[in-house]
Amino acid sequence: MPPAAPASTGEPRREQLLNAADRVIQREGPGASMNAIAAEAGITKPILYRHFGDRTGLIRALTERHTSGLLAAVRAALNEPLERRDRVEHVLDTYLAGIESRPQVYRLLTHPEAGDPTGAGNALAPALRQIAEEITNAVLLQVDLGPEAQLLSEAWGRGITGMVLAAGDWWLESKPCPRGRMVQALADLLWGRLAAAADLPSATMPSAAPPAEPAAERSTEPTGEPTAAAPPPAGPPPGG
């Protein structure tokens, strides 16, 4: 095991410990032990427990950190002043880039270990629910779907999120193609009716993404940017 990285000047101790946990999980996978994390941080295990209570507390802190970052990135992508198809691809690429950058942490947050009492394998669920709500609001406010707009927006928001979650999980595990090709494949599938739908007359293109602000773990788990002004993300499969 490599020696612990030196502490960053001025960096809060809690952040140093979370950074150490990130490094160990990236090397050793979701089953990384508290002993290994403490050694990476250059401290004893009791000190690590003093900061987080137990492994569950450490996982919860990592969950808040990574889901906040992922949701903030997706929200910013939704607010990019791009043409509709470009924005679809940008949102898809943002999500895939996020899970690709820390694959072992992603696995920790989405795939529970046998007998894991922490519930870590379901940790990404609140953030995914919020992403679905963001997409729903964006479609509802920006795309003219006629009298069934509310129903279609809700169905599309949840359907798109579930599809991208499953496809991203498979892509990260098997890596059958570069990320850019996967983005195109998913965008082609989603484009269908969304391409044919008109913009709502009241829809306006945002000039810039609103600033992200972190939030604690809850149904809006990651950050707290306003969602009402989000532009439209990907639509449903052809014929949707």
Tell me: pLDDT of 224 over 50.
Answer: no
> Confidence band (pLDDT; 50, 70, 90) for 178?
very high
70-97 residue pLDDT tens: 889 998 998 888 888 999 999 999 999 9
- What CATH number is associated with residue 77? 1.10.357.10
Tell me: pLDDT of 132 over 60.
Answer: yes
Q: Please state the φ and ψ torsions of residue 106, each to the nearest 5 degrees.
A: -60, -45
Q: Is 202 exposed, middle or buried (0-12, 13-18, 19+ CB in 10 A)?
A: exposed
- Rounded to an integer, the average pLDDT of 124-146 is 87
Is the residue at 140 inside a domain?
yes
Q: What does the pLDDT read at residue 123?
A: 67
Tell me: pLDDT of 20 over 60.
Answer: yes
Number of domains in the chain: 1
Higher pLDDT, 201 or 240: 201
Is the residue at 29 inside a domain?
no
Is the residue at 73 inside a domain?
yes
Tell me: pLDDT of 229 over 50.
Answer: no
**Sequence-ordered list of residues with C-beta below 8 angstroms from that of 57, at least 6 positions apart, any chain:** none
Domain extent, residue 99, equals 54-196
Is the residue at 83 inside a domain?
yes
Higher pLDDT, 223 or 28: 28
Q: What is the pTM of this model?
A: 0.70
Higher pLDDT, 36 or 207: 36
